[in-house]
Amino acid sequence: MTTSLPNGQTSLMLQMTQRLALSDTHFRRICQLIYQRAGIVLADHKRDMVYNRLVRRLRTLGLDDFGRYLSMLEANQNSAEWQAFINSLTTNLTAFFREAHHFPILAEHARKKSGEYRIWSAAASTGEEPYSLAITLADTLGTAPGRWKVYASDIDTEVLQKARAGVYRQEELKTLSPQQMQRYFMRGTGPHQGLVRVRQELANLVEFAPLNLLDKQYNVPGPFDAIFCRNVMIYFDKTTQQDILHRFVPQLKPDGLLFAGHSENFSNLVREFSLRGQTVYALSKDKA
């Protein structure tokens, strides 16, 4: 059985479901633009991913042509659509206590320090990483104000919104102990069953702000005892990685630690950082 729809609705339905063309030229332009704005290098095999993510923007804006979308974007360098474009093309995969071997190293480092212990989570995504850092520090140093602080940033404003809200599905917290779960999260009830929320006492010690690692200067409350820059450098080319690492140097205390992702190797990139443990770096002796 077919149902006939009024003309306007038929064309709207078509626009919502029809596969649009993404030409080589438009794909290459998208790659150039995200590289210029965020440093992200998109390989050819990411074409379907790019299509799927950006086609949602086109549909939201009522456009049926990538060329028109790009013209609209480039016509105004300050348009809010740029942020939506960036948010669409970042990959935000993360997890609580991801790369678990880093957390005992952090606890050990923090235990030895007096004064306020400060960490920067430089690609914080939806908050799992900075809250894992906060839980580690709360377990190690307590939650008295002034003892520690986590500063968390990301280029993607949408993930930062989720991070600030601090609401997660309970099953995402399976790497936490029952005590950590109890101490640092509240369980949702009724319509919020299955969800948990970070307790205010912990959330007060984590600050979120937008920051592009391509910025020539970082407006952050450093210097830090530890910088977590994990699983973001893999999206950048070598020159961008080197520039970022150079900008980290003044943001790290002389005996501070820089934590990288499992497939990121910083010691072959710049002389300023030396490997101290599995994907953990410190300032090289002559720089510290």
Ligand X SMILES: C[S@@+](CC[C@H](N)C(=O)[O-])C[C@H]1O[C@@H](n2cnc3c(N)ncnc32)[C@H](O)[C@@H]1O
Active site residues: 53, 154
Minimum CB distance to ligand X smaller for 147 or for 245: 245
Contacts of 160 (CB under 8 A, 6+ apart): 124, 153, 154, 208, 209, 210
Minimum CB distance to ligand X smaller for 229 or for 270: 229
Residue with tokens 């300032």: 283
Q: Across the strands, what pairs with 258?
A: 227, 281
Token representation of residue 31: 């790659």
Minimum CB distance to ligand X smaller for 212 or for 242: 212
Minimum CB distance to ligand X smaller for 186 or for 214: 214
CB of 179 to ligand X, least distance (A): 23
Instruction: For residues 184 and 246, give the distance between their C-alpha atoms in angstroms, rounded to a whole number.
Output: 35
Residue with tokens 């307790």: 199
DSSP states of 208-249: EEE--TTSSS---S--EEEEEE-SSGGGS-HHHHHHHHHHHG
Residues that bind ligand X (CB under 6 A): 38-40, 90-94, 98, 123, 125, 129, 154-156, 159, 212-214, 230-232, 235, 261
Q: Across the strands, what pairs with 150?
A: 119, 206
CB of 219 to ligand X, least distance (A): 13
